[in-house]
A and B are shown apart, each in its own frame.
Chain A
Amino acid sequence: MLLVDAVSKVYGQAPAAYHALDDISLEVKRGEFLCLLGPSGCGKTTLLNILAGFESVSSGTASLNGKRITGPGSDRVMFFQDAGSALFPWLSVEENVRFGLKLRGLPRAEADRTVSHYLAMVGLDEHRTKFPAQLSGGMRQRLQIARALAIEPEILLMDEPFAALDALTRRRMHTFLHDIWTKTGKTIVFVTHDIGESILLADRIAIMSVGPRSRFRDIIEVGLPRPREPAMPRFGELYGKIEGLLTNEVDALQ
């Protein structure tokens, strides 16, 4: 279980200090799909970076299964929007997936099996000798998923992973990620500013208020049957409700 308890994050020193997060608490159950939704600059990426261990908290605690998060760990893998930067361009598709396995000294045969298993899962099996530069945007994101899954983390942390893709590819990636999540049962914390994306994917949506001093405006249980489609009757209703909440947020700022 991922636990965020009264976490605040302050950047800088007293007179010029910026309070990014203010007294945030959250519980993510094992196997849950949680979306952090909010306008730009609301601190969702800051919260994700804290969970990943890239940034420290100013006060409060973030913990995983009762163990305090103090730095990056291979039980939580971050998944970046810019796959071009996040992947290792000098390694082939196969070698990218193998990277984490080599580090933990997995025997060759076992590593081979793991690599093949996850490449097949993300549908990149026949591209294993290609290099990231030769892949499309969607394929690069699938490679990033395979690389993350290969080291068998408990949690996937995803920072607007599909925001840079075109609408059609993005839609296919939603279906794809949903399948992966169903198959592997990973806990996923997914940052987005796209309301539709969060309704399609999440068990719960944590809506964040505009910064500074961001907090959770509301946490919504989606409760629609899966797999979901934008055409579902309750989809629009939920969309309107969340949009209303976010609009109030942004209006309050102006």
Chain B
Amino acid sequence: MSTIAIVRAAPSVLQPPRSLWTHLRPLAMIVGSMTIFFAVWQVLSSFVFNPHLIPPPTKVFATAVPMIQSGEIFKHIGISLVRVIIGFIAGTVLAILFGVVMGRLKAVNDLLDPIIELLRYLSPTAMIPIAVIWFGIGENSKYFLIFWGTFFFVLINTIAGVMRTPVARYRAAQCLGASELQIFMQVVIPSAVPYIVTGMRVAMASAFMSIIPAEILAADSGLGYLLQTSAMLVQTERIFVALATISLIGFITDRIFRWAVERTLHRYMAFITAT
């Protein structure tokens, strides 16, 4: 078969200039927006608001330095992160196992779906009191709450992913001689990967939002505990350090997760648009 070379007309108008600025623009925007944010905050805290209620960034930073130097903040980060990771992994693994079975076997789905539809409206925060009664204020209650905040997001996405395997792909595998089990393992599950990963990212955010209330109400360590004790002593600077840490840790974790997905699951993430 001969190939046809398509010669594109040289673009003359409406082409953005490809200069150094094109590459630097995203970084410049981030630096710019952060600078404006901190500058406005500094001015407002110094001249408009009560600095005891909203401490200026310079004071927050000054408070953070000794906490970093003594390692206090890292201790709390470490404890919270371990809780999040253990609960997240447990929730994800179990949700994927349940999800692929429910997505594949209609009877199991019909049986379990009503229960899940009710349970998933119970937020991890709502489960704190019962978790403390069941597991005490130790680590297990935190694992359970993170698990709870992870499980349903991953489960629902996994079910959707398994159910939405294109009929044509399933049938193509049948024609190529694949058994039901082979189709399930080699076609259905890989087709569901983008859905599962999306569920995991949402669940990750949920896990970070769940750990804080759990630690505020029932813990003796972690970032939520740091918030709680600082509030009791009305140390607003330390509260702001804790809040900034939580957003930073969440953001970094998501970036690491996306990077890991890109590295390991890249080939499964490609959706082909219709021709």
- Is A78 engaged at the interface, CB distance under 8 Å to the other chain? yes
A74 and B177 contacting across the interface, CB-CB below 8 Å: yes
How far apart are the CA atoms of A35 and B174 in the complex, in Å? 23
- Is B275 engaged at the interface, CB distance under 8 Å to the other chain? yes
How far apart are the CA atoms of A83 and B172 in the complex, in Å? 10
How far apart are the CA atoms of A151 and B173 in the complex, in Å? 12
A88-B169, A90-B268, A123-B1 in contact; A164/B274 too (CB < 8 A)?
yes
Least CB distance, A49 to chain B, in whole angstroms: 9
Interface residues in B117-172 by Cβ distance below 8 A to A read 166-169, 171-172
- Is B22 engaged at the interface, CB distance under 8 Å to the other chain? no
Q: Which residues of B contact A83 (CB under 8 A)?
A: 272, 275
A90 and B270 contacting across the interface, CB-CB below 8 Å: yes
B190 and A176 contacting across the interface, CB-CB below 8 Å: no
Q: Which residues of B contact A88 (CB under 8 A)?
A: 169, 187, 190
A89 and B271 contacting across the interface, CB-CB below 8 Å: yes
For chain A, which range describes its interface: under 10, 10 to 19, 20 to 34, or 35 or more residues? Answer: 35 or more
- Is A183 engaged at the interface, CB distance under 8 Å to the other chain? no
- Is A201 engaged at the interface, CB distance under 8 Å to the other chain? no
Closest to A91 in B: B267
How far apart are the CA atoms of A78 and B172 in the complex, in Å? 7
Least CB distance, A93 to chain B, in whole angstroms: 12
Least CB distance, B172 to chain A, in whole angstroms: 5
Q: Which residues of A contact B1 (CB under 8 A)?
A: 123, 172, 175-176, 179
Q: Which residues of B contact A86 (CB under 8 A)?
A: 166, 168-169, 171-172
Least CB distance, A17 to chain B, in whole angstroms: 23
Closest to A49 in B: B171
Q: Which residues of B contact A77 (CB under 8 A)?
A: 175-176
B175 and A85 contacting across the interface, CB-CB below 8 Å: no
A90 and B190 contacting across the interface, CB-CB below 8 Å: yes
B residues neighboring A (CB under 8 Å): 1, 4, 166-169, 171-178, 182, 186-187, 190, 193, 267-268, 270-275
User: Would you list the 5 A-B pairs with minimal beta carbon distance, nearest first?
Assistant: A137-B275, A84-B272, A85-B166, A100-B176, A72-B174
